[in-house]
Amino acid sequence: MSTNDTYYIPHKATWPVIGTGGLVMTLAGFANYLNGSAIGSTLMVLGLVIFIIMLTGWFTLQAGESESGMYSTQVGISYRMGMMWFIFSEIMFFGVFFGTLWYTRNLSVPWLGGAGTGAATNELLWPSFNATWPTNGPGKVGGDFEPMGAWGLPFLNTLILLSSGVTVTWAHHGLLAKNRAQLIKGLIATVVLGFSFVSFQAYEYHEAYTEMGLTLGSGIYGSTFFMLTGFHGFHVCVGAIILSVVLFRSWKGHFKPENHFAFEAAAWYWHFVDVVWLGLFIFVYLM
Amino acid sequence: MSAIVAEHEHDHHEHGPAKGLLRWVITTNHKDIGTLYLVFALAMFFVGGSMAMIIRAELFEPGMQFVNPQFFNSMTTMHALVMVFGAVMPAFVGLANWMIPMMIGAPDMALPRMNNMSFWMLVAGVLLLASTLFMEGGAPASGWTLYPPLVLQTGTALPFAIFSVHLLGISSIMGAINIIATIFNMRAPAMTLMKMPLFVWTWLITAFLLIAIMPVFAGAVTMLLTDRFFNTSFFDAAGGGDPVLYQHIFWFFGHPEVYVMILPTFGVASTIIPVFARKRLFGYSSMVYATASIAFLSFIVWAHHMFTVGMPIAGELYFMYATMLIAIPTGVKVFNWTATMWKGSMTFETPMLFSIAFVVLFTMGGFTGLMMSVAPADFQYHDTYFIVAHFHYTLVPASVFILMAAGYYWLPKWTGNMYDERIGQLHFWLSTISVNILFFPQHFLGLAGMPRRIPDYAVQFADWNMISSIGGFIFGASQLLFLYIVIDTIKGGTGIKATDEVWEDAHKHGLEWTLPSPPPYHTFTTPPAVVPTEHEHI
């Protein structure tokens, strides 16, 4: 009756409920913090710690099971499908913010400027508003600001992310060719490039806030700019952390040419983050 | 690392559940998790139902009776959120967990640990939502759509409600990923896609919808959060944003979301009706294609919820015609259910009664939907009780009735005991009569101009409101019968043990009826060699 020769069915999982507890504590803490309650930040940090312990524990468990050969090909397919559909959900999440940018730039801001028929907002409320992009709206919310150009740091960051896509593929080739040195070197390069991207973006944000008057509160331009690039930057961080774990596991001798789901998942995720950035570079910075 | 491996090798030799209450916390078994979902959904059905009772009590007579307007609006909001995210969706996920592995001949769900997590995320999300009832400023009172700017006036509750939506979204996405991986990767070799029971097909498509829309809702509420707390201007025209943008995003989520609740309903109906008509399902492949078409159309019709918001005329026309298209695949389905029953040797046990009532009453809800798709006509219906009547017809005598049908249909399989058929039929007739007394008059109220989400009304609406409330109280009370039957059946019911196939010749329709009643803790550890099919041509 053993299920494990065909499909590995784990029994009695404790990490899921611990992780849920950690996450709900983090969110309840954050909500309390936003409402100005004193216990908010403590609760949030505590929840995050529990959540990180869960991640560490659960992934250690999975890595151990994988290395001991408990996962059949069929189990591997389930994991791959899981990752694929997770990335699809992420695409939809970013789609919301790209859609927001498109809608405001092409529809609602021109309507505020008097375009279209039947909209009286312009005449009645803001007759002097001239619809252009970038804008912080007829109320000049957040005050004067300078929009972010494309050809300085953002372009450098584009080159960095594109190169990191190459290095991670190079690492993958190393893994497939049983060339562990190439695998580790490729991963180190990818992680370094990933964290450099994040550092440059942090510098860019610093410039925006201190020199350019561009903040999250700078009307719809600031809102869409920081929301899109911010969520993307967060995903780069997560991706780089995942790759660091993969690097650590490679260094410990994990992964075989025929069994390295964690590497693949990390690489897929990294390419996804890469493609989102190209969209950002074109629609947020260039156009 | 070796210690961990050893611990799990030890685990392999334990095939029963853990002892005590902890079993339900750490279980990875699809049947246990299915039970958790179903019990949780039933509990939330009564929580959400109590809120509906408060609403109907307040509307029993014109004037202010029991609650203040703010609390009334909290009740309409929370009733909707609890019923959608706490009752109907989890109930169908529960059925999916219990039935899909057994229907496709799989040992369990593809990702059992994640399965456990998606259940507990659901509980966490609903608890966070429920906690807002006790907060300063009250629970959200903006309607379940959470439209800005109104929702931004919510008190302390706002961030809690938003984060609860995030948790519910994570739960749904994990559940949906699991269902897709299970169906694609875990089928018995003989179970080809076009042999799968319709319930499995509809859930496959529903799972795809969930993964596509839950992140969209998460994005929308995240922007509400930043607009309120971080000075963004997404939904504020002064900063160049647009409150209507929220409505577009919300309904891009919201329209597929209502199909998340109806597609599995279709699936269960398509599973039950052939068994009691003693025929194969009429038009199996057209059912599959119709389900896929409905799912596709659900993504391109969202702004029919916004006909009166001030869209360009081209938008009104496009969304009107696109919406009307949905009637075609839906009509195919209703035709097929009817044709399945045509000249069948039918018997009318409780699951079949609920399924027939579903076909008739859902069709009614569908027709009022068609009326509202006509943009100029919708200017009269918009935000009135006509809308309330419409979507309650598609949710209560459709989704909820089919959930009841599923309960009666599978309870003997789950528990090994037969339920009391007399009380089941009593429950059916009381529910069916009262649900029409409850919702049918709301059509008249809406056409006469009574607005939704208002605790008081003009005296001209008094009669129909009183009748509707009486229907509501009878309907609410009748559901206690269902609770009684469930508990009674679990405890042994009529004392009659269920046979393996429970319903005559059911094994010709589904693999679950080839298993013992109740099925052992682990089933199909080796895949079955032969599988039944509804498909006429195989």
> SS3 sequence, B349-398?
CHHHHHHHHHHHHHHHHHHHHHHHHCHHHHHHHCCEHHHHHHHHHHHHHH
Q: How confident is the model at residue B17 (pLDDT cuts 50, 70, 90)?
A: confident
Residue B39's H or E segment, with its range, is helix B30-58
pLDDT at B502: 94
pLDDT in tens, chain A (287 residues): 334 457 888 888 999 999 999 999 999 999 999 999 999 999 999 999 999 999 999 999 999 999 998 999 999 999 999 999 999 999 999 999 999 999 999 999 999 998 887 667 888 889 999 999 999 999 999 999 999 999 989 999 999 999 999 999 999 999 999 999 999 999 999 999 999 999 999 999 999 999 999 999 999 999 999 999 999 999 999 999 999 999 999 999 999 999 999 999 999 999 999 999 999 999 999 98
pLDDT at B15: 63
Confirm if B227 and B148 have CB atoms less than 8 A apart: yes
Size of interface A-B (CB pairs under 8 A): 252
Confirm if B118 and A17 have CB atoms less than 8 A apart: no
pLDDT at B7: 39
pLDDT at A5: 54
Q: How far apart are CA A95 and CA B215, in angstroms?
A: 9
Q: Which of B253, B243, B223 is nearest to B144 (CA)?
A: B253
Say whether B232 and A227 touch across the interface (CB within 8 A).
Answer: yes
> Does B243 contact chain A (CB < 8 Å)?
no
* Average pLDDT value for chain B: 94
Q: Is the pLDDT score of B532 beyond 50?
A: yes
Nearest CA in chain B to A7: B107
According to DSSP, the residues that pair with B384 across neighbouring strands are B451
Q: Which of A128, A133, A125 is nearest to A108 (CA)?
A: A133
Say whether A137 and B238 touch across the interface (CB within 8 A).
Answer: yes
Which of B535 and B212 is assigned the larger pLDDT? B212
Q: Which of B349, B494, B482, B497 is nearest to B415 (CA)?
A: B497
Q: Which residues of B touch A17 (CB under 8 A)?
A: 25-26, 116-117, 120
Confirm if B209 and B295 have CB atoms less than 8 A apart: yes
According to DSSP, the residues that pair with B497 across neighbouring strands are B417
Average pLDDT over residues B278-299: 96
Indicate which of A34, A122, A221 best probes the interface with B, i.e. most B CBs within 10 Å of its own CB: A34
Q: Is the pLDDT score of B2 beyond 70?
A: no
Q: What radius of gyration, in Å, describes the C-alpha atoms of chain A? A: 23
A18 φ/ψ sector (left φ>0, alpha ψ -120 to 50, else beta)? alpha
Q: What proportion of chain B, given as a percentage, has pLDDT over 70? A: 97
Instruction: Work out the number of other CB atoms within 10 angstroms of the CB of residue B66.
Output: 11
pTM: 0.95
Angstrom CA distances, B191 to A217, B43, B324, stand at: 55, 35, 35
> If contacts are CB pairs under 8 Å, which of residues 142-201 in chain B contact chain A?
156, 159-160, 162-163, 166-167, 170, 173, 176-178, 180-182, 184-186
Contacts of B534 (CB under 8 A, 6+ apart): B197, B198, B270, B274, B280, B281, B284, B509
pLDDT at B4: 38
Q: How far is A114 from chain B (nearest CA, A)?
A: 13
Say whether A100 and B185 touch across the interface (CB within 8 A).
Answer: no
Q: How far is B136 from chain A (nearest CA, A)?
A: 11
Q: How far apart are CA A19 and CA B39, in angstroms?
A: 22
Q: How far apart are CA A229 and CA A53, in angstroms?
A: 28
Confirm if A131 and A109 have CB atoms less than 8 A apart: yes
According to DSSP, the residues that pair with B417 across neighbouring strands are B497
Q: How far is B222 from chain A (nearest CA, A)?
A: 10
Say whether A2 and B176 touch across the interface (CB within 8 A).
Answer: no
> Where does residue A147 rank: exposed (0-12), middle (13-18), buried (19+ CB within 10 A)?
middle
Q: Which of B228, B236, B313, B318 is nearest to A100 (CA)?
A: B236
Q: How far apart are CA B40 and CA B119, in angstroms?
A: 10
SS3 B417: strand
Whether B452 is catalytic: yes
> If contacts are CB pairs under 8 Å, which of residues 264-323 in chain B contact chain A?
310, 312
Global ipTM: 0.95
B135 φ/ψ sector (left φ>0, alpha ψ -120 to 50, else beta)? beta
Q: Which of B32, B58, B227, B257 is catalytic?
A: B257
Q: How far apart are CA B16 and CA B4, in angstroms?
A: 21
With the CA atoms of B471, B428, B398 and B39 taken in that order, what torsion angle do they form, in degrees rounded to the nearest 10? 100
Q: Which of A19, A104, A109 sits opposite B117 (nearest CB)?
A: A19
SS3 B242: coil
Q: How confident is the model at residue B240 (pLDDT cuts 50, 70, 90)?
A: very high
According to DSSP, the residues that pair with A256 across neighbouring strands are A259
Confirm if A233 and A198 have CB atoms less than 8 A apart: yes
Give the type of residue at B495.
Answer: G
pLDDT at B12: 47
Q: Is the pLDDT score of B10 beyond 80?
A: no
Whether B399 is catalytic: no
Q: Which of B228, B304, B390, B413 is catalytic?
A: B304
How does pLDDT run across B295-330, given as a tens digit for each residue? 999 999 999 999 999 888 999 999 999 999 999 999
- φ and ψ at residue B436, rounded to 5 degrees: -75, -35
pLDDT at B534: 80
Token pair 């309960």 is found at B407
Q: How confident is the model at residue B277 (pLDDT cuts 50, 70, 90)?
A: very high
- φ and ψ at residue B418, rounded to 5 degrees: -80, 145
